């Protein structure tokens, strides 16, 4: 196969509808735009959500409440069977997990879950560890170190300290 022999798969390309090529073509006269009206005019398009002057649905619905999603704590999840890539006696922490590609992106902490079996004796440092994962790590001869929780200062002015 060479570059000059590449072509799209059969059926992937469809010929364009040729508009305004006489009435016998089936797309002549009004060229598929029907008769008159805003959508038949050149440049005549209406914006998304426009309801013909009626009060749009997005403006009719009440806007109330609060969404806490921006303040959610997002943990990088690592299962026990992923930790078998480490050697016996290794110290597993966020930097070592990132260097092996087990945790990527912007995370607020690391959580270890208990899927699979751990075959190594490791020292695991994480923000959260499930009970099953803790049991399996300690059964394999390893230890679990929980990092201290990040305490955010209370920013409410009415609270006396």
The ranges assigned to domains in the chain are: 71-146
pLDDT-based confidence at residue 156 (cuts at 50, 70, 90): low
pTM: 0.56
Gap between the Cα atoms of 114 and 138, Å rounded: 12
Torsion of CA 127, 132, 133, 135, to 10 degrees: 110
pLDDT at 93: 93
Q: Which CATH architecture has domain 71-146?
A: Ribosomal Protein L15; Chain: K; domain 2 (3.100)
Strands (E), the chain: 75-79, 91-92, 109-113, 123-126, 128-129, 143-146
pLDDT-based confidence at residue 160 (cuts at 50, 70, 90): low
């Amino acid at each position: 196969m060479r570059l000059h022999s590449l072509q799209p798969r059969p059926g992937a390309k469809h010929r364009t509808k040729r508009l305004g090529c006489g009435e016998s073509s089936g797309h002549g006269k009004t060229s598929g735009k029907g008769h008159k009206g805003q959508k038949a005019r050149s440049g005549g398009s209406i914006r998304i959500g426009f309801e013909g002057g009626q009060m749009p649905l997005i403006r009719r619905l009440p806007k109330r409440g609060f969404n806490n999603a921006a303040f959610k704590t997002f943990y990088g999840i690592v299962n026990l069977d992923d930790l078998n890539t480490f050697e016996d006696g290794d110290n597993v922490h966020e930097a070592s997990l990132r260097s092996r590609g087990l945790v990527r992106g912007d995370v607020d902490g690391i959580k270890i879950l208990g899927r699979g079996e751990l075959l190594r004796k490791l020292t695991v440092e994480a923000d959260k560890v499930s009970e099953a994962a803790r049991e399996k790590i300690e059964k394999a001869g390893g230890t679990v170190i929980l990092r201290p929780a990040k305490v955010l200062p209370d920013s409410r002015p009415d609270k006396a300290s």
